[in-house]
Amino acid sequence: MRTLAYVLLGIITFYLQAQVIPMVFHTIWLPNLILVWVVLLTLLNGRRTGLFVAIVGGLIHDVLISNFFGLHMFPYVIIVYLLSFVKARIYEEQWYISFILVVLSTIVDGLVRMGMLYMIRADISFLPYMWHMVLPPMLLNGGLGVIIHFMLWKLEEKEQYMW
C-alpha cells in the first residue's frame, strides 16, 4: 500500500514540478519539489529508497524538465549518501529537523551543481550564483519540506497502526 502511495505521490510531484510550479512562480526562483521528496524519503526510509527516488527523480528532472543530463541526478545521489550517514544519528519526527536538512540539502545541491557547471567551463561566479539561484529556493524548499514532512508522517503512522 505504501509503495503505491509513493508511486502516486511521485507522479503528482512530477506534474507539480513540471507544470504547476513554473506557472505559480514566474521567476527563476523555483522550489525543487523533487529534491524535497528525495531528502524526506531518504530520512524516513533509508538509503535504498532514497537512492531509488534520487535516480528516478533525477533522471525525470534531467530528461523531461531540465536541459542538462546529470545536472540533477548526480547531486541528488550525493545528498542521499550524505543524509544516510546523518539519518541514524539525528533524525527524529521533528519538523524543524526536516526543515534544516532540506535547507542544507538545497545548499549542497546548489554547490554540487555549480561545481559541475564550472567543470564544463561554464561562465559562472560563485557569489551571484549562490545569491540568485540557491538562497531564494532554499527557503521555499524548506517550507515545502515542512508541509511534506507532516504528510509523510501521517502516511507512516497509518501504516504502523494498520497492523
**pLDDT score for 138:** 92
For 92, other C-beta atoms within 10 Å of its C-beta total 8
**pLDDT score for 163:** 52
The reported pTM is: 0.86
CA 11, chain centre distance (Å): 15
CATH code at 2-162: 1.10.1760
**pLDDT score for 157:** 65
Number of residues that this document lists for the chain: 163
Mean pLDDT by 10 residues, the chain (163 residues): 76 87 80 92 88 91 80 93 83 83 94 90 84 88 92 71 53
Q: What does the domain layout of the chain look like in residue ranges?
A: 2-162
**pLDDT score for 127:** 86
Looking at the chain, which runs of residues are DSSP E strands? none
Rg of the chain over Cα atoms, rounded to whole angstroms, equals 15
**pLDDT score for 54:** 92
| CA–CA separation, 156 and 59 (whole Å) | 26
Give me 29's grid cell.
Answer: 526562483
Q: Which of 153, 163, 161 is CA-nearest to residue 45?
A: 153
